[in-house]
């Protein structure tokens, strides 16, 4: 990536938003009386406000960071193209961002995406559909990174990492800028806090940076099934650098990046990280799909599950209320799943 890096500040997030807002969707904020009632206690009303990044371009928030990262590269850097490794939403995000940037810059920006051979065929097809050249690799991170180096040696392409870079973080933080404004100006419900899922931590760190100094508290949510590396890292005072998990929230099977850990481990940015079980994630996903009528992927259900089922987090939110209503923003990170995957997940028999 470019040697000129912006500082991780709220001002930088606002600059990022001004730069990319015409190239992304300002996704809607939905509410649900049913889910809000479930999150509330007898004497405290908790209003849940859902920032629906499942309705974002490419079906997930990742387009924000990819678009911002490319916007910060020079024409000279982009001439040789960009490369990344991803089996998920970042692959499609970078492919689309490169295609859009090509139109803006007036020249073709090659995009190379290293994907494991075992990647879902629909995700490979979508990545290629946005114009990327897919290069296949083994499934381990070491194998993917080795293939990226080969691509870079051959082409000189610039690496755009999925989450662990300041420009990615700042791009992801733009969703919090929108959410806070929409909550206050459109709904008349100013936020007390936001909770976001945490995998590599780019989104959570971005949201935290965007909210710094605003009075809005920020929390993270993780699956308890092996992918709770941020929670364990905070407990032990040291970043966990590897994750082995088969959690259904497959978008969160990633250790927190170095850049992102610097933000997430600072309590003045992130007030805490909370975890939930696989069954709780499934229950939350089912509730959102059935009650809100929107399609979400399992990773998106993790912060919803924390708000509904994690006793410690619920008490934290009730304490924020101090006898009044409290407005909690929840990031719905994406909706890139299929009916077949949902049927398999819930064990529906035909």
Average pLDDT over residues 45-71: 97
Query: Is beta strand 217-223 parallel, antiparallel or unpaired with respect to 193-197?
Result: parallel
pLDDT, one tens digit per residue, over 167-218 is 999 999 999 999 999 999 999 999 999 999 999 999 999 999 999 999 999 9
**Residues carrying CATH 3.40.50.1100, the chain:** 10-59+166-346, 62-159
pTM of the full structure: 0.95
Active site residues: 62, 87
Least confident among 10-14, 248-252, 271-275: 248-252
Average pLDDT over residues 143-148: 92
Q: Is 82 in contact with 98 (CB distance < 8 Å)?
A: yes
* Rounded Cα gap, residues 277 and 254, in angstroms: 17
Q: Is 209 in contact with 10 (CB distance < 8 Å)?
A: yes
pLDDT for res 348: 62
pLDDT, one tens digit per residue, over 119-133 is 878 889 999 999 999
pLDDT for res 7: 95
pLDDT for res 142: 79
Long-range contact list for 264-268, CB < 8 A, 24+ apart? Answer: 264/198, 264/201, 264/204, 264/205, 264/208, 264/220, 264/230, 264/234, 265/233, 265/234, 265/239, 268/212
CATH class of the domain comprising 62-159: alpha beta
Percent above pLDDT 90 for the chain: 85
* Rounded Cα gap, residues 26 and 36, in angstroms: 23
Average pLDDT over residues 66-77: 97
Architecture of domain 10-59+166-346: 3-Layer(aba) Sandwich (3.40)
What is the average pLDDT score of the chain?
94
pLDDT, one tens digit per residue, over 263-281 is 999 999 999 999 999 999 9
Q: Is 203 in contact with 194 (CB distance < 8 Å)?
A: no
pLDDT, one tens digit per residue, over 88-123 is 899 999 999 999 999 999 999 999 999 988 887 888
Burial of 140 (0-12, 13-18, 19+ CB in 10 A): exposed
Please determine, for residue 43, whether its predicted confidence score (pLDDT) is greater than 90. Answer: no
Q: Is 193 in contact with 214 (CB distance < 8 Å)?
A: no
* C-alpha distance from residue 303 to each of 2, 80, 194, 274 (Å): 33, 39, 10, 9
| Strands ordered across the beta sheet of 133-137 | 133-137, 111-116, 82-85, 158-159
Of 44, 58, 214, which is closest to residue 130 (Cα–Cα)? 58
């Amino acid at each position: 990536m470019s040697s000129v890096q912006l500082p991780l500040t709220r001002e930088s997030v606002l600059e990022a938003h001004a730069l990319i807002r015409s190239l992304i969707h300002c996704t809607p904020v939905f509410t649900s009386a049913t889910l809000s009632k479930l999150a509330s206690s007898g004497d405290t009303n908790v209003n849940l406000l859902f920032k629906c990044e499942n309705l974002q371009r490419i079906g997930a928030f990742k387009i924000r960071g990819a678009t911002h990262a490319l916007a910060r590269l020079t024409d000279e850097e982009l001439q040789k193209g960009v490369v990344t490794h991803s089996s998920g939403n970042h692959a499609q995000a970078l492919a689309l961002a490169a295609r859009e940037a090509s139109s803006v810059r007036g020249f073709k920006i090659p995009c190379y995406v290293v994907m494991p051979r075992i990647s879902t065929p629909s995700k490979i097809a979508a990545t290629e559909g946005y114009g990327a050249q897919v290069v296949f690799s083994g499934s381990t991170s070491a194998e993917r990174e080795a293939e990226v180096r080969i691509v870079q040696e051959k082409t000189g392409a610039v690496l755009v990492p999925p989450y662990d870079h300041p420009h990615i973080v700042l791009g992801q933080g733009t969703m919090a800028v929108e959410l806070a404004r929409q909550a206050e100006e459109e709904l008349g419900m100013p936020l007390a806090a936001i909770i976001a899922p945490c995998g590599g931590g780019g989104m959570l760190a971005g949201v935290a940076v965007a909210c710094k100094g605003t009075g809005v508290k920020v929390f993270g949510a993780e699956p308890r099934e092996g992918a709770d590396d941020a929670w364990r890292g905070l407990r032990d005072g040291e970043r966990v650098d590897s994750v082995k998990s088969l959690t259904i929230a497959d978008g969160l099977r990633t250790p927190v990046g170095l850049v992102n850990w610097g933000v997430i481990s600072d309590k003045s940015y992130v007030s805490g990280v909370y975890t939930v079980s696989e069954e709780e994630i499934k229950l939350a996903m089912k509730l959102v799909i059935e009650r809100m009528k929107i399609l979400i992927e399992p990773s998106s259900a993790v912060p919803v599950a924390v708000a509904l089922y994690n006793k410690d987090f619920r008490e934290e939110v009730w304490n924020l209320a101090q006898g009044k209503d409290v407005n909690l923003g929840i990031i719905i990170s994406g909706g890139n799943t299929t009916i077949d995957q949902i049927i398999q997940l819930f064990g529906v028999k035909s």
